[in-house]
């Protein structure tokens, strides 16, 4: 069984933020949209209340914090995920074969079948696999061997039967 592609990925804030964005734009899409609408509505109502009744430091602070969370949600989720990364899993080497892919960290090796992938997403730097509502994997395009990003995109679409979803941008 010959390997097709290999990725080396460091699970840093950038990769974890991309994973959070992929989850938010795929399996959590409806929930995320409702939460964002609610959050922006509360922020606007807070601003209108502050404008009508005068500046209240507590209300203004809450509005600023809410807006920052809305704007930097993926980055903050990436930061929180970084705190929960198991020691030894910060770096991953993943090898893709025709019938499976193998993930190797200092902790051990894990073999996956392509049918476990719910969504395949892509941003400027990573390919992202969404496995469940709270689990994703990132693969750094800059550290891809065995082909280029276009070839891997075709390979993974063929193996999974899923179309790659672009998830770049903040919103």
**pLDDT, tens digit (0-9, with 9 covering 90-100), for 2-61:** 668 999 999 999 999 999 999 999 998 888 889 999 999 999 999 998 888 888 888 889
pLDDT tens figures, 150-160: 999 999 999 99
pLDDT tens figures, 80-137: 988 888 888 899 999 999 999 999 999 999 999 999 999 999 999 999 999 998 899 9
What element of type H or E holds 158?
Answer: helix 149-160
Write down the pLDDT at residue 88.
86
Integer Rg of the chain from CA:
19
Instruction: Compute the Cα dihedral for 78, 96, 127, 21 and give only its sign.
Output: negative
List the structure tokens of 77: 């989720």
Q: Estimate to the nearest angstrom the gap between the alpha carbon of 32 and the chain centroid.
A: 13
Report if pTM > 0.75.
yes
What CA–CA distance (Å, rounded) separates 5 from 103? Answer: 12
List the structure tokens of 7: 């990725």
Write down the pLDDT at residue 169.
66
Contact 131, 116 (CB under 8 A): yes
Q: Estimate to the nearest angstrom the gap between the alpha carbon of 54 and the chain centroid.
A: 40
pLDDT at 140 over 60: yes
Write down the pLDDT at residue 65.
93
pLDDT at 1 over 60: no
Write down the pLDDT at residue 15.
94
């Amino acid at each position: 069984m010959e390997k097709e592609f290999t990725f080396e990925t460091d699970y840093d804030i950038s990769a974890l933020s991309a994973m959070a964005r992929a989850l938010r734009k795929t399996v959590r899409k409806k929930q995320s949209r409702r939460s964002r609408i609610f959050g922006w509505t509360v922020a606007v109502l807070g601003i209108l209340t502050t404008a009508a009744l005068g500046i209240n430091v507590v209300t203004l602070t809450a509005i600023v914090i809410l807006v920052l969370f809305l704007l930097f949600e993926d980055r903050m989720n990436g930061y929180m995920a970084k705190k929960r990364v198991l020691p030894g899993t910060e770096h991953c080497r993943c090898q893709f074969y025709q019938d499976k892919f193998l993930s190797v960290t200092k902790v051990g090796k894990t073999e996956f079948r392509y049918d476990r992938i719910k969504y395949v997403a892509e941003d400027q730097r990573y390919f992202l696999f969404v496995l469940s509502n709270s689990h994703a994997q990132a693969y750094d395009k800059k550290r891809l061997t065995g082909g280029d990003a276009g070839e891997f995109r075709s390979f993974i679409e063929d193996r999974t039967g899923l179309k790659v979803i672009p998830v770049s941008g903040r919103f």
